[in-house]
Amino acid sequence: MNSFVEKIKKVDSRDAKLGMAHFYVAFIGLFIGGMAGLLQTLVRSGQFTLPAGIGYYQLLTLHGVVLALVMTTYFIMGFQLVSVSRTAGTLTNKQRNTGWVGFWLMTIGTVMAAVMILLNEASVLYTFYAPLQAHALFYVGLTLVIVGSWVSGSAIIMAYVAWRRKNPGQPSPLLTFMSLVNTLMWIVATIGVATTVLFQLLPWSLGLVERVDVAISRTLFWYFGHPLVYFWLLPAYMAWYVIVPKIIGGKIFSDSLARLSFILFLLFSIPVGFHHQLMEPGIDPAWKFLQVVLTFMVIIPSLMTAFSLFATFETFGRSKGATGLFGWLKKLPWGDARFLIPFIGMLSFIPGGAGGIINASNQMNQVIHNTIWVTGHFHLTVATAVILTFFGISYWLIPHLTGRTLTKAMNKLAILQGVLWAIGMTFMSGAMHFAGLLGAPRRSAYSEYGGAAQAAEWVPYQIAQAVGGSILFIAIILVLYIFINLAFFAPKGEEEFPVGEAANTTEKAPMILENWKLWLGLVVLLIAFAYTIPFIDLIENAPIGSKGYKLW
Amino acid sequence: MHIHKFEKIWLIFGVTTLLVFLSVIGVSAFYLGNQPPSCLATINPEKVDTTAPFDKPGLNKVEGKEWDYELVYVASAFNYTPGEVEVPLGAKVKVLATTKDVVHGFNVAGTNINMMLEPGYISEYVTTFDKAGEYLIVCNEYCGAGHHMMSSMIKVVE
Amino acid sequence: MAQPGLEKKTSTKVEDQSSLKGTLASVFLLGFFLIITWVGVFLLFVNRF
Ligand code: HEM
Ligand SMILES: [Cu+2]
Ligand SMILES: [Cu+2]
């Protein structure tokens, strides 16, 4: 290929370094978290006890914090920074340095939180619900992670603004647009968790105030907690909408509809936190139901996404001569890990999404709330759909950034990894779903509950989870092996950063989609609508606050 | 913005399905009274043992109310009081619970009685115990090192 | 990386080239799956006390 074109399409090596720094941390996190996950399933099978005085809940805190908060955030920040660099042009020195400041802030914070967890000073799980009280440094660490992510996010915003200024009247490159939407959503959402940590939990853990308002702290947490899951999901959607079509050799079904769905996510993923608090006292059921309705709105862009993806695949297959209703399936490049791994992720999002609709269905939440069903649910969504897509991205992005290539042998290994993940997760998540319907609780070490007959029924499912967990752990070892190969040992070469083109290039995306005053204004209005009155109620009717407890 | 005819069909079908789901749970919640537990009453978590009805945990017969019994639980790390209760089959019961310390869960396994207990708040749920059997109550919100030991038992008997 | 079996072919042309009927069928299968699972748990909810 023409070397001039190649140059434009390659992420600048300085930006690549910034991206790789994020990925190193993410994959170290994957190893630690995966190890913890394996041990959890073993403990829960009843066949294994933890050595060296490690507590189950200490381990579970590590697993949740390292995987759900740290690994995801690093991967996403790294991926978005290099996507912007690839599509909107190399970052300026100022933007790149901002990215580095964000990276180091997050890293200092991560180390602080991790040390506190390892010292058993913070076995409060990744949701750190008051009035369980962790060491103040745990909260400081989490704050630094969030502030760091804001700083990194501002690098993305700066790059977007600079591009728009240089290209007036033009819709921004699709990946840049999507990265920006996710960054904006993240910033608006993290204000909630930052508020409870900085103004409630930190002063309280330092002893500056004696009591904390538990219900308000939880509500602020879940104002953040739901958009958190969309913050994980949207980068996967970026890959599904924009990158996978290019990998298979097809086109993006519709650029405008992809943007529209991202705008809908921005609008509706925040004012919905009550669907995590449906079983809680102190919140009026009418307000819960209102947020349930808003939650259902955020399903619509996922319905659009499903259509777009199938349409991309079908259009591609038919362009290759496929006939019949499903003949196009045969034309897809099943032997290409860059396609297959995200595709398994897409498939897992079908039961994942189905479970999500059930969880959000107001009183139906009583059937599954805080049972192990929920754990099964998000291991399909984040720990399969999202994470497999991230792996699929890594298999071309890491070599792209390090100037190496994905060899045939590594591609094979990657496929094996994806298949093992699918099998392991079917066992683990499937067993979790069924046990959950029987009432088995989540976040619980092995227990026979005094010999209760019901608890005995859960044990076979817990053994199935351990089988699945062991298979998953093998898959994680494979991922790490491939990652190390791609980062340090794979043959030098040029690996493509695939960016798809729209099927219809004459249709320009409507500029209203880039009108941030409008969208952010609507975001604020929706949040105010969904939260103002319930918050006033919580404050006005607040019971006496709670002192801190350290019950581990 | 062009939308393909099939995509329109799909979105109409999908959105209609969501509206049906919402209508079903909406009617069930607002007209049939199946709201999720959302009690607004508060309590001083440090004075639970001396505040009615939590000064008398257990199954208490009541008169002149929509339910026949009140089943009162006090939760604290890592147990529920009472630890075991017998409920007559078919009894209409209001389950009331609160916590003296941290957040706990309250799930009667295999039933719809599933609620969060938060310090300062009372949680309640009214239901008819219409299936005999032994039901394990588990704490399903992490509350500390003994969380998985925290349980109680309801026997629904003829 | 080399993409197995992905050489550009421009010739093959079939009459239903732009049809999205497979997509429509797929999303409807997805839709029915959502309905079946939802109804399943709803029935559990209704049958439990
Ligand atoms: C080897 C792969 C994995 C295994 C075996 C595994 C296993 C588990 C198990 C058994 C639990 C539940 C424990 C309990 O509720 O008592 C759990 C919780 C959790 N897992 Fe995983 N997991 C794996 C990968 C992941 C990944 C990749 C992510 C996220 C990206 C993840 C995120 C979480 C979260 C957020 C929780 C909830 C923690 C909590 O309730 O506080 N897991 N995992
Ligand atoms: Cu949510
Ligand atoms: Cu507990």
**Residues of chain A above pLDDT 90, percent:** 91
Q: Is residue B40 part of a domain?
A: no
CA of A62 to the centre of ligand 1 (A): 10
Among the partner residues B9, B14, B112, nearest to C45 by beta-carbon distance? B112
Q: What is the CATH number of the domain that holds B50?
A: 2.60.40.420
**Same structural domain for residues B77 and B128?**
yes
C35 CB within 8 Å of a chain A CB: no
pLDDT at position A53: 77
Q: What is the arithmetic mean of pLDDT over A360-378? A: 96
Using a 6 Å cutoff on CB, does residue A392 contact ligand 1? no
- With a CB cutoff of 8 Å and minimum separation 6, the contacts of A288 are A274, A275, A277, A278, A362, B36, B38
CA of A93 to the centre of ligand 3 (A): 50
Q: Which ligand is nearest to the CA of A468?
A: 1
Give pLDDT tens digits for B121-156: 999 999 999 999 999 999 999 999 999 999 999 999
Task: Name the nearest CA neighbour of B144 among B115, B101, B108, B110.
Answer: B101
Query: A242 pLDDT exceeds 60?
Result: yes
Q: Is residue B110 part of a domain?
A: yes
Q: Is residue A161 part of a domain?
A: yes
A315 CB within 8 Å of a chain B CB: no
Query: A86 pLDDT exceeds 70?
Result: yes
**Secondary structure in 3-state letters for B1-52:** CCCCHHHHHHHHHHHHHHHHHHHHHHHHHHCCCCCCCCCCCECCHHHHHHCC
Q: What is the arithmetic mean of pLDDT over A239-256? A: 94
Query: C2 pLDDT exceeds 50?
Result: no
Subunits in contact with chain C (3 or more CB pairs closer than 8 Å):
A, B
Q: What is the arithmetic mean of pLDDT over B62-84? A: 94
Residue with tokens 């650029």: A255
Q: DSSP H helical segments within chain C, as ranges?
A: 21-47
**Same structural domain for residues B77 and B134?**
yes
Query: A2 pLDDT exceeds 60?
Result: no
Asked if residues B117 and B75 have their Cβ atoms less than 8 Å apart, the reply is yes
Using a 6 Å cutoff on CB, does residue A389 contact ligand 1? no
Q: Work out the number of other CB atoms within 10 angstroms of the CB of residue C37.
A: 18
pLDDT at position C16: 59
pLDDT at position A7: 44
**Same structural domain for residues B26 and B63?**
no
Q: Is residue A549 part of a domain?
A: no
Strands B133-138 and B123-128 come out as: unpaired
**Same structural domain for residues B123 and B54?**
yes
| Whole-angstrom Cα Rg for chain B | 20
Which residue pairs from A531-540 have beta carbons closer than 8 angstroms and sit at least 24 positions apart in sequence?
Answer: A531/A219, A531/A223, A531/A271, A533/A287, A534/A219, A534/A274, A534/A283, A534/A284, A534/A287, A535/A216, A535/A219, A537/A282, A537/A283, A537/A284, A537/B40, A538/A213, A538/A215, A538/A216, A538/A219, A538/A282, A538/A283, A539/A216
State how far the alpha carbon of B146 is from the alpha carbons of A38, B149, B150, in Å: 21, 5, 7
Q: What is the arithmetic mean of pLDDT over A1-19? A: 71
Task: Name the nearest CA neighbour of A379 among A415, A440, A427.
Answer: A427
Considering only CA atoms, which residue is closest to atom 14 of ligand 1? Answer: A443
Q: Is residue B142 part of a domain?
A: yes
**Secondary structure in 3-state letters for A334-369:** CCCHHHHHHHHHHHHHHHHHHHHHHHCCHHHHHHHC
Which carries the bigger pLDDT value, residue A95 or residue A504? A95
DSSP structure class, residue A182? H
pLDDT at position A509: 85
Asked if residues A361 and B21 have their Cβ atoms less than 8 Å apart, the reply is yes
Query: A8 pLDDT exceeds 60?
Result: no
Total number of domains constituting chain B? 2
Using a 6 Å cutoff on CB, does residue A174 contact ligand 1? no
Q: What is the arithmetic mean of pLDDT over A245-250? A: 94
Q: What is the arithmetic mean of pLDDT over B46-62? A: 94
Contact B42 A543 (CB under 8 A): yes
**Residues of chain A above pLDDT 70, percent:** 99
Q: Is residue A242 part of a domain?
A: yes
pLDDT at position C18: 78
Task: Name the nearest CA neighbour of A82 among A147, A5, A74.
Answer: A74
Contact C38 A358 (CB under 8 A): yes
Q: What is the arithmetic mean of pLDDT over A315-319? A: 93
Cα gap A422→A424, rounded to integer Å: 6
Which of A296-305, B21-30, B101-110, C16-25 has the weakest average pLDDT? C16-25
Containing domain of residue A42, as a range? 2-540
- With a CB cutoff of 8 Å and minimum separation 6, the contacts of A78 are A18, A19, A20, A21, A22, A23, A26
Q: Is residue A187 part of a domain?
A: yes
Total number of domains constituting chain A? 1
The confidence band for C41, taking pLDDT boundaries of 50, 70 and 90, is very high
Query: B29 pLDDT exceeds 90?
Result: yes
pLDDT at position A323: 87
Using a 6 Å cutoff on CB, does residue A443 contact ligand 1? yes
pLDDT at position C6: 46
Q: Is residue A516 part of a domain?
A: yes
Q: Is residue A552 part of a domain?
A: no
Contact B110 A369 (CB under 8 A): no
**Same structural domain for residues B15 and B77?**
no
**Same structural domain for residues B86 and B122?**
yes
Q: Is residue A546 part of a domain?
A: no
Q: Is residue B86 part of a domain?
A: yes
Q: Is residue A545 part of a domain?
A: no
pLDDT at position A6: 40
Asked if residues B77 and B119 have their Cβ atoms less than 8 Å apart, the reply is no
Look at phi and psi of residue B64 and say left if phi exceeds 0, alpha if psi is from -120 to 50, else beta: left
Using a 6 Å cutoff on CB, does residue A383 contact ligand 1? yes
pLDDT at position A506: 78
Query: A317 pLDDT exceeds 60?
Result: yes
ipTM score assigned to the predicted complex? 0.96
**Same structural domain for residues B66 and B141?**
yes
Mutation probe of ligand 1 site: the residue of A379, A465, A480 with most atoms within 8 A of C-beta: A379
Considering only CA atoms, which residue is closest to atom 9 of ligand 1? Answer: A37
Subunits in contact with chain B (3 or more CB pairs closer than 8 Å):
A, C
In C, minimum Cα distance to B8 occurs at C24
Query: A451 pLDDT exceeds 70?
Result: yes
Containing domain of residue B3, as a range? 1-35
CA of A196 to the centre of ligand 3 (A): 22
**Same structural domain for residues B62 and B114?**
yes
**Same structural domain for residues B72 and B109?**
yes
**Same structural domain for residues B11 and B57?**
no
Q: What is the arithmetic mean of pLDDT over A204-214? A: 95
Among the partner residues C9, C20, C33, nearest to A350 by beta-carbon distance? C33
* Mean model confidence pLDDT for chain B: 94
Give pLDDT tens digits for A120-163: 999 999 999 989 999 999 999 999 999 999 999 999 999 999 99
Cα gap B132→B91, rounded to integer Å: 11
Q: Is residue B29 part of a domain?
A: yes
Smallest Cα distance from A185 to chain B, Å: 24
Q: What is the CATH number of the domain that holds A36?
A: 1.20.210.10
Element (H, E) at A235: helix A214-238
